[in-house]
Amino acid sequence: MFLTTLAEPQETGLRFLVADERPFERRLMTDALRSLGRASIDYASTVEECVSYLRIGPPDVLFLDWEFASNTGLDLVRQIRAGQAGDGCRKLPIVMLAEHRRQRDVNAARHAGVDEFVVRPFSVLTVQKRIKSIQLKQAYAEGRGPNDDSPEVQIRKGLVRMYVERLMAMLTALAPDGDAREFKLTCAQLNVLANDLKEPLLISGTFSLSNYIRAVGGGQMNRSVVEAHLQAILQLAELPNCAYEIRRTVTSELEKLVAKKLGRAA
């Protein structure tokens, strides 16, 4: 029977399975994984428990001990790669945990299908580096560069771009004294979508737009100010999150432009 999960699953968190017979070693790994932030951590104390868990649904990463009483970790890796834990686990990222690291052990682990190797005693930084290495390998395997946004973020940014394009079309069709209620509602929806992404600069841009529209009302809005917001938000949605300096420049230029235009209008 599985031990209690110590961290509740989160939408944006990683899911880990720690397979180790020794409670103390499981606790050490738990402390290291908790340092990553939101994560779901489950445990298996035997080979049989590990296989049963994997058949239910693969985690994002399996941390597997080298030795078990009934079997070796490498034998279990071979079973997983052969599909005995389900086809969905054939490419499951596996990190092998061991007391010592001899080159022949590393070679044997790599040959069996282990992705990364952690030697005890380990540091939190070591665990973080191994997970980062796995994520980079997955990114390249999926045709993404190491600096690209995750697929989920790319999808949400695509929705942001769709909303911006809709707002641009609505702005073009909006008469000077026309009813802007739908436009204001769409701006508010865009702001909610940006908040879901939890990206500060994108949130800042959409909040600034939504706040401006609420303050002046549809009939009184300066169209060039609205267009500047939409163009900046579109750029932020197209740039990867890692391009922070460029994204910050876009936000700064927007702030200057808006202040200049509103100052001139006043």
Q: Where are the domains of the chain?
A: 14-141, 151-260
pTM of the model: 0.53
Percentage of the chain beyond pLDDT 70 is: 89
- The residue-averaged pLDDT of 169-175 equals 86
Q: Quick one: average pLDDT of 133-153?
A: 74
User: What is the second-level CATH architecture of the domain 14-141?
Assistant: 3-Layer(aba) Sandwich (3.40)
For residue 6, what pLDDT is reported? 35
Rounded Cα distance, 188 and 213, in Å: 9
Separation CA 228–CA 261 (nearest Å): 10
193 has pLDDT over 60: yes
Q: Mean of the per-residue pLDDT values for the chain? A: 83
Token couple for 123: 């540091």
Say if residues 41 and 6 touch (Cβ distance below 8 Å).
Answer: yes
Report, as an integer, the average pLDDT of 228-235.
Answer: 93
Kindly state the average pLDDT of the residues 36-52: 87
> Which long-range CB contacts under 8 A does 32-39 form with residues at least 24 apart?
32/122, 32/123, 32/124, 32/127, 33/127, 34/6, 34/7, 35/124, 35/127, 35/128, 36/128, 36/131, 37/13, 38/7, 38/10, 38/12, 38/13, 39/7, 39/10, 39/13, 39/14, 39/15
Q: What is the pLDDT of residues 45-73, one digit of tens each?
A: 998 999 999 998 889 999 999 887 666 88
* Model pLDDT, residue 11: 36
Share of the chain above pLDDT 90, in %: 29
Place 149 in a pLDDT band, splitting at 50, 70 and 90. Answer: confident
Top pLDDT among 95 and 34 is at: 95
Predicted pLDDT of residue 9: 34
pLDDT for the residue 2: 36
Residues in the chain: 266
